[in-house]
Amino acid sequence: MDEAELEGRLARVAASEARFIATVESIDESSLAGPSLLPGWTRGHLVAHVALNAHSNVNLMNWARTGEETPQYPSGQHRADDIERFSSRTKSEHLAALRKAAAMLMDAMRAVPLDRWDFPVRGLGSGPRPISRYLDGRVNEVEIHHVDLDAGYDSNDWPEEWVARLLKRLPEVLEDPPRPFSLEPDDLDVVVALGSGPSIERVSGPAHALLKWCIGRSAGDGLGTEGGTIPEVPPWD
């Protein structure tokens, strides 16, 4: 990765963070205690998680920069406990935590030398992967949870470039579905095949709606299918 590519990817991280923070700014205090689209989580849980995830990525950036192992989270239980503990923050506390976490993460990303972006680290529950994957991973985290916040930001607000990139990566990150099928966005010149073997069904619609369905954020309403039924999609992790 050269400097120009890194700057572009860092800019995408910063833009996603800024959009998410702007939405939290627009939410009134009482709405933070209301339900998000994630079962069992309020909007406060979700906002706390997004801030804590930034801190966890700082740990991974430091690991890549120094070579000294720094776990993303102390444990899964520690992660869950912190989300619960910080979910009831006031709006001003949530915003301060988000801004501080975003700034710390950007500083940590900028501190990773260009020749260290291939360094492998392990996130919670995952195997080794280059630290560069966490640049895109942070954008994925923020964009998807921005929709989960259920506060006016929906899949049609997602950046087109990000939607196209993640759609194309779905075969790498999703398990094979029970029946192979292909995604055929109306607004992208691409066909994405999911599953091994020839695709027996085609699912079409706007790219953002196809992605929203594939990552478990919609039931597929409004999408077109060749066979008339929406196929089963493997769970998004």
The answer to whether position 81 is within a domain reads yes
pLDDT tens digits, one per residue of 81-109: 999 999 999 999 999 999 999 999 999 99
Q: How high is the pLDDT of residue 173?
A: 87
Q: Into how many domains does the chain fold? A: 2
Same domain, 42 and 142: yes
- The domain spanning residue 101 has which CATH number? 1.20.120.450
DSSP annotation of 197 reads S
Distance CA 89, CA 96 (A): 10
> Is 232 within a domain?
no
Query: Residues in the chain with pLDDT < 50?
Result: none
142 and 31 assigned to the same domain: yes
Q: Which of 120, 153, 186 is the last residue of a domain?
A: 153
pTM score of the predicted model: 0.94
DSSP code for 198: -
pLDDT of residue 1: 85
Residues 108 and 195 in one domain: no
3-state SS, residue 117: coil
Give dist(CA 120, CA 28) in Å, integer: 41
Q: Give bridge partners of residue 121 from the DSSP assignment.
A: 129
Dihedral sign computed on CA atoms, order 211, 212, 217, 221 = negative
Could you give the CA distance from residue 169 to residue 117 in angstroms, rounded to a whole number? 20
Are 141 and 72 contacting, i.e. CB atoms less than 8 angstroms apart?
A: no
Which two structure tokens, joined as six digits, stand for 58? 């700082």
Alpha-carbon span 27 to 24, nearest angstrom: 5
**Does 233 map to a domain?**
no
**Assigned domain for 237 exists:** no
Q: Which domain holds residue 218?
A: 167-225
Place of tokens 């992790």: 237
Judgement on whether residues 124 and 181 belong to the same structural domain of the protein: no
Q: Are residues 205 and 113 in the same domain?
A: no
Q: Is residue 109 part of a domain?
A: yes
Residue 235 has a pLDDT of 85
Instruction: Decide which of 104, 126, 153 is a domain's last residue.
Output: 153
